[in-house]
Structures are given as structure tokens and as C-alpha cells.
A and B are shown apart, each in its own frame.
Chain A
């Protein structure tokens, strides 16, 4: 019987398999950042262990770094200690690090693909749940905890029980103005936050094939938000074109050998999945969340639901609590919700294509009075590329804040946070209570919705915008 893509990649990485034990899986690339690694390095030090493969390990600073004054010492002493600890550990254990100020610094999941380190058929882990992003290239990529970070540092392997397989087929084409983000938010509302639990998911179908690599990364990024172990997409010409020529991509004969292998990384026609979901992209519309988990979403044209709309008792209680936290009344049209802050960035939507999309919507408009727009590139390379294209000027002329690279307001670990009761429209991945700052209220949205919302001050799509002021003077 044939095998699925996920099974092929998994099988290629099994170092040891024994009855009654998890597989011992080889890890091709281990990405590291400052927040989930200090205790792992300390564990190595206490046990007198080394990093087995520093040449398969890459560190960057992203979660805890400021997006203003990044050339100055970090103001918060506790944050500074954590970043300094990573620098010391990288130096002591011989790990390549792209620190704040380095041209390759940025969000770990933006940096890997950008350097060409993320390639099809790999196993990639990081002490960060959004490691699933790298699945867009046909890799098995997933987040791990700090104990596992230490395990990978010491052994370059992980003990993992083989997950079940699921296919999510998205037929048809996305309508104009509807993005990969809307697609994945629609999917999560369909499955719930636990629907993918225990599965490696393969996204396939026409709408997936039609996505750019950036769009595919957005979809795979949010696999964890519906509980999947990992999400991946079969590599194709779009994938190869994205990788070719990047700094760490194979070259010459190596490139030919690599691509020849990558072409075999598809699910066989006679393979079967443990579960299958089919959705139609052509009926999808801009999608936004109203609640406090990523599954609590509705079309932008919809209204805030009521607890009685749900049959399951846990869902009713969750809805009640979410509405109270979010300060929303059932029945309110989503478009009537006023927003204080718009955040464009994160490993979900902080790549160059996202910034181009945002700039296209914003160009010639002004950010609404009383609304703040924060644009945070996913990496220094993305920032420099955007500046070369003049996108920074579009944002600044509209009244937005143009920042340095990092995770920023996605998780509110650095100073970029919401105030209590402040409401955001955010292109990031989580609307959990307090995620963007204590008491903050988050609506997850696509990049075009974020940009249009910044202009109107209420949840909006670009279709809601009036004519631009461009050329008026």
C-alpha cells in the first residue's frame, strides 16, 4: 500500500524503532530562541553534555526583544538577562546566533525559510508551537518543550510516537480578497481547537496548490491552533522556486539531487489517511474571530453569536465567558466593532508579501483617528526589503508606526502590549485572554482586513473603503 507524504518523511528519519516504545526520530534542523532554551542549556551544563550537532542548530532572538531602540541595551533588566543568557550559551556551546542588530535576526519561523534552511522532507523542531510553519515546504515541523529542546541539543533526536494522518483538502479557488489566513480561520472554526489533536495534517487541493509559499506558511503556521501535531504541504515548483538561490539552499549537483528527491515527496495515489476533511475555498469570505480562542470565529459579514447558539454545554460556557471577556453583546454585527489597535506582523503574517498586501490597501488612506497601526516586519531582511520598495513610507504617511523585527505584540512579551480592555485587530495567531497584554481583547484577522480596519477604525474589509486621497492635492 502507498504511503502519505507525512509517513514518507517520518520513515526517512527513524533512527530506531522498537515495539512498545516511541520511535527515535532524527532531527535535521533545531531552531532556538531566548525564551525556551536557557533551562535546556543549563541542563546540558549540569550533566556535562555538549551540543551534538551545532551545525544543525540555529539561534535567533525574537520573542523578548524590543522593536524600538533595538540598537540600545534592552531596557527591561529581566529581558536583557534572558537575551544575554542566549548569547552566552550560543558562544559556549558553539551555536550560530543571529542576535538583535544582525541582518539575519528576526522571528525564528521567518528566518529559517528566508535563509533557505527550511527544505522539503526535513524534520524541524523548535521550542515554539508555531514551528508548524515550516511544514509549508513539505517538512515535518513541530513545537517542543524545553526538556525536549535539551534532548535534541544532546542527541539530535527526539522520542516521538507516530501520529495518525489526516488530509484537509481545500477544493476550488479562493475568491479575490480572501487570503490564506481566512482559509485557516474558517477551517479552525469548522474543526474546533482540538480537532487536529494527534494528527499530522496534509493540506492539499487546488486552493492550497494555488497559494504562494507565504500563504502556505500562514496555513501551516496555524495548524497548532486546531491542535494538530504538524501540518504540511507537498513540495512543488512553487516550493523549489522559493528555495533556489537562497543562502543555505543546495547548489549545482546538490541542487539537482535534492530536487530529484523532493519530487518523490508526495502522497501516493493508493495511500489512505486516518481522517479526511474537505472544504470549498470558493465559498470562503474574510473571516474574523469574536472570542478567546482561534476557533471562535465568523465571517466578517456575520454577527457576534450567543451562548444559546451552541448545543454542547462546554461550548456554551466558553461562549459566555468569551463574550464577557471581550466586552461584546450577542447579535452585534462584526463590522460595528470598534478597534483601538491594529497589529500587522508575527510568524503568521509578517513576511514581505503580507507587508505588500497591507501597503496596497493603506496607500493613499490615513489611519483612523483614535486607532493605532503597528507594522512589525517578521525579520530584518523583510524590513530592509520593505524599505527598498518604499512600503515603510506608505505606512508612515498613513500615520502607522514602522517597527523593528520580532514577535512583538503577537504575545506581548516585549513592551508592545495592549492595555486592559484595549481592543485589537491582529494578523497574529492567538486571541487568548491576555495574550497581547493583560486584559487586552484580540480579534484575529487577515492582512487586508487589518489594513482596512486601521483606515476605518472598525472591523472592515478593503471593499468597505472609500476612494483614496491620492492625487487630491
Chain B
């Protein structure tokens, strides 16, 4: 995974709450066995609407999505994170993320930045008034920034310390865990014999 420190890119205001992962990418697009190529399914139903934000040229090259609360609810499909990344998104800003989506984002290297709902409202207003304007998400200082002068929006975002560290370092979780192999083996040695197994010694 590539390290993530800071990113500045076109902000996309998505004025929707409860954006579930079926909206991010419908099930019919989940049949691929790769991690790439899912951008065609991103917001597939909404992209039929010419007024949908990503269909407007100023936002088409967006890389920072600003969405309403409860983003990424529903299905555990990591394809939702991949679809956003495959399209070009580096970060999603919302007032609240569903647990599984936030976990998947952290694993795959998409920054899920949780901010106060008021910050989302201000970013929406700023991005709608200035189509194509940039938003900066700085993981080092945990800040989100947009606009300039008196209108500037500067606020902090929440992300758990461990995910932040992993993203900053670009670390592979499995590699970290395999470093604790002795602990895992010791735990396994103490598991009760009556615990179920899917395969049995003959």
C-alpha cells in the first residue's frame, strides 16, 4: 500500500445522507475477480442522471468526495472502496462512516476523514459556489482545508491513531500480524478441543 500523508484535489459535493454501498457500486458490478476496473460501476444508477455531480465537467476529475452522514452503510463489499479509488478518489469526508466501510478504506488506503456535520455543510456550500475548487486533506496534521481568505475552511478531522499510523507508513497489516506468529501459535495451543472444525483428521 502507498503511504498517505496529504492530498489536494478537486472536491465533489455529494448532497446525500445514507449513501449505502449498493449505491456506491451495485451488486451486478461485483463479478470481477480483480481489484481494478470497478470505476464503471461507481454510483452507476445516479450517473444516468445528467445532473449528477460527477457528470458535471467541473467535478469530473474529483478526488475528494464530501458526503452526508452514514456514508458506506450496508454491504461489506470492499469493491465500494476500490470503485472510488479506481475512479480517482483519494479521500472521502463525511460526518459519520459505517464501520465496515471505514475499516475497508483504511486497509485499502482510501482516507475516510470524519468531520463535524457543520464542516460538511460549509464544504458543500463552498464547492457548489466554486465548482472545481480544491480540498486538502492533511493526514499528518489531521486537518481539512478549502478556500482562501476570510471564507477559508480549516478544521480537524477524526481518524483512529492506528489507522492513521498505518496509512502514513503505508504498512501491510498481514505483515505486521505475522510478526506476532508466536502469540497466535500459543493461543491456538490453548483452544478447547471441542471447538468445531470444518475438516477432521481421518
Contacts and interface: CB of A to CB of B under 8 A. Distances in A.
Nearest to A230: B99
A151 B174 contact: yes
Nearest to A291: B18
Interface stretch (A22-30, A348-356, A386-394, A451-459): A22-30
Interface string A52-63: 101111100001
A22 B32 contact: no
A55 B99 contact: no
B73 A20 contact: no
Contacts of B104: 145-148
A198 interface: yes
A210 interface: no
A430 B184 CA distance: 37
Contact of B107 (A24, A131, A148): A148
B16 interface: yes
Which applies to chain B's interface (DSSP): helix, strand, loop or mixed?
Answer: loop
Interface in A10-45: 15-16, 20-22, 24, 26, 28-29, 35-36, 38-39, 42
Contacts of A56: 197-198
Contact of A194 (B73, B187, B191): B73
26 contacts: A16-B180, A26-B191, A28-B196, A38-B34, A63-B30, A82-B32, A85-B33, A96-B198, A129-B74, A145-B100, A150-B174, A154-B174, A154-B177, A155-B174, A155-B177, A161-B160, A194-B96, A197-B99, A227-B73, A248-B197, A254-B193, A255-B194, A314-B68, A314-B69, A411-B75, A434-B22
Given A82-B31, A119-B196, 12 more contacts: A20-B162, A36-B78, A47-B174, A55-B199, A81-B33, A116-B196, A145-B104, A147-B104, A154-B174, A198-B99, A314-B17, A314-B69
Interface of A: 15-16, 20-22, 24, 26, 28-29, 35-36, 38-39, 42, 47, 49, 52, 54-58, 63-64, 76, 78-79, 81-82, 85, 96, 116-117, 119, 122, 127-129, 131, 142-148, 150-151, 154-157, 159, 161, 193-194, 197-198, 224-225, 227, 229, 248-250, 254-255, 257-258, 261, 293, 314-315, 317-318, 321, 411-413, 430, 432-435, 438-439
